[in-house]
Homo-oligomer: A and B are copies of this chain.
Amino acid sequence: MSEQEMPGHNRWHPDIPAVVSVNPGDIFRIECKDWTDGQIKNNDSPDDVRDVDLSVVHVLSGPIYVNGAQPGDILVVDILDIGALQGDEWGFTGIFARENGGGFLTDHFPNAAKAIWDLQGIYTSSRHIPGVRFAGITHPGLIGCAPSYELLMQWNKRERELVETGGPVWKPEIPPLAALPNPENAVLGTLTGSEFERVAAEAARTVPPREHGGNCDIKNLSRGSRIYFPVYVEGAKLSMGDIHFSQGDGEISFCGAIEMSGYIDLHVDLIKGGVEKYAMVNPIFKPGPVEPRYSEYLVFEGISVDEFTGKQYYLDAHVSYRRACLNAIAYLQKFGFTGEQAYLLLSSAPVEGRISGIVDIPNACCTVAIPTEIFDRNILPT
């Protein structure tokens, strides 16, 4: 990425220079590398996933300067189309090693694993997870406008405080609580010299979603959706990347979507002064009309009780969703999948993860819904 003629970036900072400018009303195409900048290969060894250098991620295309955009405006972005690059129709899903990134179920699946997916038009299948085939709900895992300097400082402050004060009691020691600014392997567009040093030291990592959107990993930001972004800096400075051919709600194995390079066709427009008009805090969006349509789901429930200790947590949707996913994985293992395969599948297939009940003290109830049509066999209880 750093060797491109028009380099992208892999950190958030208002002072990363825009690479192009567009006008409201314009339609244009962006191409993106996969989020690891090509570290993961189309082969059968998970060693590249195990050894991935996370200081490199996420490599983003942009920033795009939108003429006329001012702080307080809403940037309206239509994802007109999105897809793989011709000749590069494959993707990967990984389980990160507990020591290097981890994931939602890292205490259950601490070792690196990988599935390679063949992309065949709207469908995908994997030689590493036989017996499933599904249509992708392709989307950018990461998209958003540059933060203002003030907002960036808020991010850095609150995330540093979290690292200093510690997380919830169920949090294992590794992986870390947050990814704080790290100049190592920072790519900051055309910045060089002392300006590069300054920005690299301040710039936020791209891992978490934040007020501006960013790495939301929302599978429904797919083909045809319209997203309303708050603008914080002049020109909006829109960036994106981390294209997913498909993903389940939660993207649970962390490198859990079907990660790929690809293109996005965009249309942009502005709503002047829209942030105040609509009391906007985070982005808002309208999903598109061509999400894959399934009619039969098998749904697993989870409650906020720890699976190892039996400890009761208070309305903890994180724990509940973990239990729901573990229940689904245990079930799928009865149909011939390994635990890792089931974990990768829940991460990457178009599964729905819902907060079903969040008020019935002390248990939150979360559900994970798997479309049964993605399997080549009947997976209902009989």
Query: Interface residues, chain A, CB within 8 Å of chain B?
Result: 27, 74, 76, 78-81, 103-104, 120-123, 135, 154, 158-159, 161-162, 167-168, 171, 175-179, 207-211, 213, 215-220, 223-224, 228, 249-254, 256, 265, 267, 271, 274, 277-303, 305, 310-318, 321, 323-324, 327, 330-331, 333-334, 352-367, 369, 372-373, 380-382
Contact = CB atoms under 8 A, between A and B. Distances in A.
Contacts of A256: 359
- Determine which residue in A217, A295, A331 has the highest number of CB atoms from chain B within 10 A of its CB, and name it: A295
Contact of A135 (B176, B215, B289, B305): B289
B290 A122 contact: yes
27 contacts: A76-B381, A121-B224, A122-B289, A122-B290, A135-B288, A158-B305, A175-B361, A177-B361, A178-B314, A179-B361, A209-B365, A218-B357, A220-B299, A249-B356, A274-B381, A278-B381, A279-B334, A284-B331, A284-B381, A285-B298, A286-B296, A286-B299, A295-B373, A317-B317, A321-B355, A321-B358, A352-B354
A314 B167 contact: yes
A120 to B, nearest CB: 5
A19 B353 CA distance: 37
Contacts of A74: 381
A85 to B, nearest CB: 12
Contact of A288 (B80, B122, B282): B122
Contacts of A327: 280-282, 284
A210 B364 CA distance: 9
CB-based closest 10 A-B pairs: A80-B121, A81-B121, A317-B317, A217-B357, A167-B314, A295-B295, A208-B363, A158-B312, A279-B330, A282-B301
A54 to B, nearest CB: 11
A290 B135 contact: yes
A225 B121 CA distance: 11
A229 B255 CA distance: 33
Nearest to A209: B365
B312 A161 contact: yes
Which of A168, A254, A318, A352 neighbours the largest number of chain B CB atoms within 10 Å of its CB? A318
A155 B249 CA distance: 29
Given A161-B311, A177-B362, A282-B300, 15 more contacts: A80-B120, A80-B123, A122-B288, A158-B310, A162-B314, A208-B362, A211-B303, A215-B357, A217-B360, A253-B359, A278-B381, A285-B299, A293-B293, A295-B295, A317-B321
